[in-house]
Structure 1
Amino acid sequence: MVEPMVVDILNDVEQNENVQPAAGAIVQNANLDLDLIVSSYTGYARYQRLIYIADHCPPLRVQALTMTLNYLKSETLDVQAYVECHRKLVASAPAGQAPAQDTQWVEATRKLAQLSLEKLDVELRSSKQSAIKESIRRGQDELAFHFLRMGDLSSALKNYSRTREYCTNHLQELDMCLNVIRISVYSCNWQHAKSHITKAEACSGVEVGRSLGAGGYPGDASALTSAAPSSKPKEREGVQRKLAFVQAASGLVELADSRYRTAARQFLAVQFDFFNCPELLSPANIATYASLCALATFDRQDMRRLVMSSANFRQFLEVEPAVRDVVTSFHQANYAACLAGMERLKPTLLLDLYLGSHVESLFSEIRKRALTQYFSPYVSADLDKMASTFGTSVPALEDELMRLILDKRIAARIDSNKRLLVAKQADLRSAVFESALQACRDWKRRNSAAILHLAVSKANLCVTESNPASGAASAAASAGGAASAGAGAAATAAAGACDDAMQ
């Protein structure tokens, strides 16, 4: 029987259970270390990333599928994924080199999964009969984890969602939200993940503010660092680690919706010392995602304040030196080195599960921002030098600049004869005259209003609410007649006063 309060969640799960990551480009020349992928991620995240690489990089397909088979056999009960992965390997590997399917493992794992499922179901029913909330919650968690090992994300999400009814404190609610967020991200159910991210932020704020003694309010991330010294260190650190997971997941949701500026801020808010989420993202992912989103959307002041001057984010950048060099080159206005470094990173980025489909749009925005910032300090710029700096031809550069000028991102004009980009000079004389005329119009309006107010005051006129009493209708009518006559006289006097003043 389904609990009434989770019906909306289950309906949302059923509508989104078949959502897959956006298709990316096929990469032929990637220099990617698959052993690093295996060591950087755990659980379902490792399986998803290896399969994504196998589907989008033919040179690495056989190696990625082989690693996926080994992972599925050693750490999961997902027989269906194993059979499908083996089928792809046989179709991709040279004739006779693909390993034979381990039918013995398939049958044994299928039986083990069914027996474990029946056992967990019996234990959960027993817990529900005893009506002990903690036992029921743990039973639902164990059943959800079993479904996750079987590769059934829909059932795992449903069982994790059902634990909400049996949570007895904010930490348990936070754990429930994190589990739902994790499975939602795996299935690319971004709206569902976003709703639980909001709940998780509220739960983390409440737990720190109440249980740990911080003076914050629900959802206040600053409360995590303002907890009293007497707070329980392990509990406070646990909440901080969970909040880092929530911020990283929030950044992924914003990235999936192409809200790059908000995504950058979420990734930059992740604390390096408390981030350890190999089941979702690695520190290198945080550095890469935050840097590219920031380069595409931040101005120089924000880049300096939020990225270059952030001691916390510098620790993430040290994990990914190539990305650090790109960010540093961009901030130092060395755009040639920045764009060259981005091109070297591009094949690897295209094989990223969550970033691959956004690489082209992010690179395009970064290039536009580089062109804009390159020209900003100059009155005129040589198109030949600009083309050399940005690694393109002059005609192609003119097309790019034309689009930026039409989008009003660059206030300039292109002189094709002299091969120059010339900034538009503001007509200061016309601007001063227009400012003076506007000041005169504002002065006239203010003085007219002041004269009218003075005339109304001299006539002793005021606006009052009508009397709601039915018995005072005749009195109101006579008063209204007198007021009308007075208002007419006052209006005439005010108009005359205004005319005299303006003359």
Structure 2
Amino acid sequence: MADSSQLLTFFTAMDNQGGLVIKDAPKLDLDLYISNYTGRTRFERLFSIGQSSVVLCVDALKAAVTEAKRGKDVRRYREAWECIRVAAPNEPEAQFDQAWADKTEKANKLETHRLETELKGYKNNLVKESIRIGYRDLGEHLESIGDLTAANDNYTRMRPEASTHAHLFDWAKHAIGISLQKRDWSSIQSNINKMLSGSTGEEDLKVQQPYQKTVLGLANLHGEKFYDAAKCFLEVELSVCQQYSNIMSPNDMATYGGLLALASMDRSELQSRVLDSPSFRNYLELEPHIRKATSMFVNGRYSACLATLESYRADYLLDIHLSRHVKKIYSQIRSKCIVQYFIPFSCVTLDSLDKAFAKPGESLEAELITMIKSGALKARIDTVDKLLMAISTDRRAEMQANALEAAKNYEKEALERIRRMNIVAADLEVKGTARARAGLGGDQWFNETRRQMNQGEAASG
């Protein structure tokens, strides 16, 4: 077991490197949590938790070492070992397994050489499908040993050999998998567009759409396009999501979709797209606190909604996709709650707002000032009487502005009609029959007419 001084040394180093350190105990059970995932994301999540959570550090790092030794990526094993030897040097996993590392590296080199030899033979035989499979197998092997750049190069060479749309979809999934691991979110959108360009019908779209929505939702999340990300996650069927456990779990889909919807959608959309959605309702059964928080917001119980979400903040900070965005997501949800709470009133005492939203002994005034300056809250603060007062709009001025705008639009339309009448009266109207007979559009007809005029001038000259 690691003592407190060793953990303190480890997390001090993490903090100095700009890492996220979470002291609160999360609600998740580590073994149950990681069982929802397959593939290389299992190590990524365990390693991230081990570097961030004070409570789960040792267990997560031990599991990360074990997970790394199940695979073929020696670099990942070294990374996990370097962390655990500082955080818990007395654990058995803190002893570097040099024999395993040497054996694995040797086996990796032999397998790489074998696959390269096979691929060379396929190229000599000029069998298109065999060449495609050769690039795919070599890319998958290089990806499994952690050489993502070389793996991506092989996937890129695999694309010209794709002869069907199924082959193109297979290539895109491999390329997107590399982008997910490298956190290259911009290339995901590009690869999805390439995948869509080869779609041949509704059946193709039905098969591909869940995967596209899943990865595009993650790309939008990391681009802080929360509304677009929420729409993507809300449209993925539960039965299909379970096939992509190498990316995310159904629990993640419920969490991402629910949180981002709360941050970006209004009350009516939350009711229709989240709570009443036949497909997403199945996800909410996996994360009942998300459904509870959403119901509380829709029903106007804003402080209870925020309290429910706050109790799960530590869990979300440990998620590899949510952690960097939790602060902004929670801030947007909190701002929405304050605005919705204030809408029915012309003025509210700051004390009542503090009771509803502020922590004990703290004031909400500074946060309200920030919201007013940003335009999120249309109000002003009376610092003498300690009131938050709504800014009443001048209805008369608004009506006059609308009337003037309507008059300008009417005048503009009238002038256009008079101009049209004068053009017709002067016999300057361009008839559409000639261009219709020629089967040409407006621009095509104009270009063709100009070409004929130029030919006539040249002939007369």
- TM-score by length of structure 1 reads 0.76
Question: Alignment partner for residue 213 of structure 2, among 224, 247, 255?
Answer: 247
1:342-421 mapped onto 2 (5 Å cutoff):
342-392=309-359, 396-421=363-388
Q: Secondary structure at the match of 2:244?
A: coil
**What residue identity is the alignment partner of 1:172?**
H
Are 1:39 and 2:35 counterparts? yes
Q: Which residue of 2 aligns with 1:54?
A: 50
Distance (whole Å) between structure 1 residues aligned to residue 286 and residue 328 of structure 2: 25
Stretch of structure 1 that moved more, 273-282 or 385-394: 385-394
* Equivalent position amino acid for 2:39 in 1: G
1:83 correspondence with 2:49: no
Alignment of 1:273-312 (within 5 A): 273-275=239-241, 276-312=243-279
Whether 1:191 and 2:186 are equivalent positions in the alignment is: yes
Offset, 1:332: 1.6
| AA partner of residue 328 (structure 1) | S
Distance 1:164 1:413, change over 3 A: same
Deviation per CA, 1:63-88, whole angstroms, max 9, x where unpaired? 111111111212x1112221232222
Give the 3-state SS of the residue equivalent to 2:285 in structure 1.
Answer: helix
Alignment-derived partner of residue 66 in structure 1:
62
SS state of the match for residue 389, structure 2? strand
Could you say which residue in structure 1 is the equivalent of 2:234?
268
Matched, 1:328 2:295: yes
Contact 1:23 1:357 in 2 (8 A): no
Output the CA distance in 1 between the equivalents of 2:36 and 2:134.
30
Change (3 A) 1:420 1:169: same
Letter of the structure 1 residue corresponding to residue 357 of structure 2: F
Q: CA RMSD in A?
A: 3.0
Match of 2:100 in 1: 105
Give the 3-state SS of the residue equivalent to 1:43 in structure 2. Answer: coil
The Cα of 1:361 is off from its aligned counterpart by 0.8
Distance 1:29 1:406 in 2: 33
Cα deviation 1:340-397 (Å, max 9, x = unaligned):
1111111111111111001111111111111111111222223222211113479832
**What is the match of residue 161 of structure 1?**
156
Instruction: Give the equivalent residue in structure 1 for 2:225.
Output: 259
| Maintained 8 Å contact 1:29/1:347 | yes
| Structure 1 residue 316, shift from structure 2 partner | 1.1
SS of corresponding position for 1:381? strand
Residue 288 of structure 1, CA deviation? 1.1
Could you list the per-position Cα deviations for residues 33-81 of structure 1 after superposition, in whole angstroms to 9, with x for gaps in the alignment? 221232011111011111111222233222111111111212x111222
- Relative distance call for 1:394 and 1:426 in structure 2 (3 A) is farther
- Residues 440-496 of structure 1: per-residue CA shift (max 9 Å, x gap): 666777778888988x699x756689998879xxxxxxxxxxxxxxxxxxxxxxxxx
SS at match of 2:320: coil
Residue 50 of structure 1 aligns with an amino acid whose one-letter code is L
Is it true that 1:148 corresponds to 2:143 in the alignment? yes
SS at match of 1:414: strand
Does the CA-based 8 Å contact 2:270-2:294 persist in structure 1? no
Q: Which has the larger radius of gyration?
A: 1
Look up the SS of the partner of 2:56 in the other structure. Answer: helix
Who is 1:92 aligned against?
87
Q: Is the 8 A contact 1:412 1:423 kept in 2?
A: yes
- Rounded to whole Å, the distance in 1 between the matches of 2:414 and 2:195 is 57
Give the direction of change, closer, same or farther, for the CA distance of 1:434–1:107 in structure 2 (3 Å limit): closer
Q: 1:426 & 1:122 partners in 2: Cα distance?
A: 76
SS in 2 for 1:40: coil
- Structure 1 unaligned spans of 5+: 1-21, 213-217, 225-238, 472-503
Task: Assess if the C-alpha contact under 8 Å between 2:37 and 2:246 holds in 1.
Answer: yes
Structure 1's 245 and 449: CA in aligned 2 closer, same or farther, altered over 3 A? closer
Give aligned-pair identity as a percent.
Answer: 31
Partner of 2:113: 118
Distance 1:173 1:398, change over 3 A: same
Q: Is the 8 A contact 2:69 2:77 kept in 1?
A: yes
Cα distance between partner residues in 2 of 1:457 and 1:43 = 71
| TM value normalised by structure 2 | 0.82
Q: CA shift at 1:439, angstroms?
A: 5.9
Aligned residue pairs total: 419
Provide the secondary structure at the position in 2 that maps to 1:410: coil
State how far apart, in whole Å, the 1-side matches of 2:209 and 2:18 are.
30
Q: How does 1:405-444 map to 2 (within 5 A)?
A: 405-433=372-400
Listed as ranges, the matches of 1:461-476 within 5 Å are: none
CA distance in 1 between counterparts of 2:210 and 2:414 reads 58
Question: Any idea what SS the aligned residue of 1:311 has?
Answer: coil
CA separation of 1:399 and 1:457: change in aligned 2, threshold 3 A: same
User: How many angstroms apart in 2 are the aligned matches of 1:176 and 1:193?
Assistant: 13
Counterparts in 2 of 1:310 and 1:444: CA distance versus 1, 3 Å: closer
Cα pair 1:384 1:394 within 8 Å, conserved: no
Structure 1 residue 299: Cα displacement: 1.5
Q: 1:435 to 1:362 in 2, by over 3 A?
A: closer
**Quick one: distance in 2 between partners of 1:309 and 1:80?**
47
Question: Shift of the alpha carbon at 1:112?
Answer: 1.2
